[in-house]
Chains A and B, each alone.
Chain A
């Protein structure tokens, strides 16, 4: 499994309230949520994002509320992977559970710039910044989480387990 796209870059502590503001949580429709994704800190995001693009941020990405609407909105907006120094734990769980690939990689998160073209090989965990030519090794998921991701989410995993 691979991802390739242009980078949208954000800073520390991007919270789920700015990923998808609560005033839109009267809906749980992914397409509708996607139209408001990131608007409180980057109102151009939804107009500029293309299918397959990549989000890169610094520490504690996805902090705050447990709303699964946040990774759902990011995924539905077209983002193929989020790379960060660290993720807030509920966001981390939610992303795995809904099948949004996320990778913790402090070096990549610091060095990759907005607008760079980046490729990610999920099997090896290698992140390549095609613009600068630099490669990074992201942290691999524990085997248990890999199984959830391979099953395309927690519920399929539980169904398969029987």
Chain B
């Protein structure tokens, strides 16, 4: 019986020739990640270790991104705690405001995540790096603390679901439509404890940014990780972003999958998740008349360069609807700068949008776009739970940057064309 791509990476990380689903292993970590919300809890836990210090100052990434620039005094104290810890332990990958970005956009851009890596992060969207052929998964603060101290983590080897993507998606169909469609199909616990392995001839039509978006939302189907094979596009991306050596793993031909789904990309339509679960998907053509108060374009799911380009293409020369608030958040400083150089910032501002420095802010209802009682928001973020972006009676509709930008202009949920 062969191994899936995920199982092969985990076997190598554990120093084993073979692993199988359900097996408990201890694996060596290539990177341990935390943010300004989860790291302070982990740093506090670190104090309980008899052995002091971190396992490797170059294999830890600390990215204050959720409530930065500091939104209040308590957040400032959290960030100070992370900053001091990074300084005391000489953490090489600590990113201060001004150098930072939303963690899951930033780390691949900085070349810190490569194929074959075993990565844990105290943030549920750590699964994003599966786009590059790494095993990466979200954990909590105590796991992060143990990872920082020992360089290891325990895992139950997951079984997998195979998603065969076929055909060429239509013009405005992006990674977001694909992953929302899949979550709608299998449900928010459809991949619980499992790997989601994406394969098929449709992959060649998906940019790296599409793949980051898809892997990012594996957690929204309950998945332990989402993972893509390494192809020419991955290698091209790595050439641009990293000097780290990496190892490419492929699933065995006789690997066993719990289930297999064929996703015909050419048949997909712009898709939106209605409140209050990501699985509550509808195509935009059946949306009816949903009037929107706010649009957010950004986050670790959809704040990358391609997302900005699509938003700019749709907003160019237009103006958002009267009374609409449209908040655009390039995910990293590098993306922000490129948006400026390409003239997108001008396009956004002339269209009546606001452009923010990188932050997770509105996605988790932290700040920078909180919703009032009864307000509706189309958002390119990843969760539409009750109260996620503000008042418990507010509503979030998850969508692609194309649908979000078009909806900002129309004032209601619409497709780009």
Instruction: Enumerate chain A interface residues (CB-CB to B < 8 A).
Output: 13, 15, 17-18, 21-23, 25-28, 40-41, 59-60, 63-69, 71-72, 86, 88-90, 93-94, 97-98, 142, 144, 153-156, 158-159
Contacts and interface: CB of A to CB of B under 8 A. Distances in A.
Interface in B97-145: 121-124, 126, 138-143, 145
Nearest to B365: A22
A26 B189 CA distance: 29
A158 B124 contact: no
Contacts of A97: 140, 142-143, 146
B149 A158 contact: yes
12 contacts: A17-B383, A17-B388, A22-B388, A26-B74, A41-B386, A59-B189, A66-B121, A66-B123, A98-B140, A154-B142, A155-B48, A159-B49
Nearest to B223: A89
Given A89-B192, A154-B142, A18 B385 contact: yes
B222 interface: yes
Contact of B222 (A63, A94, A156): A63
Given A26-B71, A60-B222, A66 B189 contact: no
Contacts of A142: 24, 156
B145 A67 contact: no
B37 A90 contact: no
Interface stretch (B39-47, B226-234, B305-313, B403-411): B39-47
B140 A93 contact: yes
B150 interface: yes
B74 A68 contact: no
Q: How large is the interface on B (under 10, 10 to 19, 20 to 34, 35 or more residues)?
A: 35 or more
B225 to A, nearest CB: 10
Contact of A66 (B72, B138, B145, B224): B138
Contacts of A26: 67, 71-72, 74-75, 78
B365 A21 contact: yes
A40 B393 CA distance: 10
A68 B365 contact: no
A28 B78 contact: yes
A50 to B, nearest CB: 25
A64 to B, nearest CB: 6
Interface of B: 24, 37-38, 40-41, 44-45, 48-50, 66-67, 71-72, 74-75, 78, 121-124, 126, 138-143, 145-146, 149-150, 154, 156, 188-189, 192-193, 219, 222, 224, 277, 364-366, 383, 385-388, 392
Contacts, number: 134
Contacts of A153: 142
B122 A21 contact: no
B192 A60 contact: yes
Contact of A40 (B141, B383, B392): B392
A22 B366 contact: yes
Nearest to A32: B74
Contacts of B140: 66-68, 71, 90, 93-94, 97-98
A21 B75 contact: no
A98 B222 CA distance: 21
Given A17-B383, A40-B387, A28 B44 contact: yes
Given A21-B387, A22-B366, A40-B387, A93 B143 contact: yes
Contact of B146 (A18, A60, A72, A154): A154
Contact of B364 (A17, A40, A60, A156): A17
Contacts of A155: 45, 48-49, 142, 145-146
A99 to B, nearest CB: 10
A38 to B, nearest CB: 11
A155 B294 CA distance: 44
Contacts of A158: 49, 146, 149-150
Given A60-B189, A86-B189, A90-B124, A67 B38 contact: yes
Nearest to A142: B24
Given A26-B71, A64-B124, A66-B124, A88 B146 contact: no
Contacts of A63: 188-189, 222
B78 A18 contact: no
A161 B49 CA distance: 12
A66 B139 contact: yes
Nearest to B367: A23
A69 B142 CA distance: 11
Given A67-B37, A154-B142, 18 more contacts: A17-B365, A17-B385, A18-B387, A21-B387, A26-B71, A40-B386, A40-B387, A60-B189, A66-B121, A66-B138, A68-B122, A86-B189, A90-B138, A93-B139, A94-B139, A94-B143, A142-B156, A155-B48
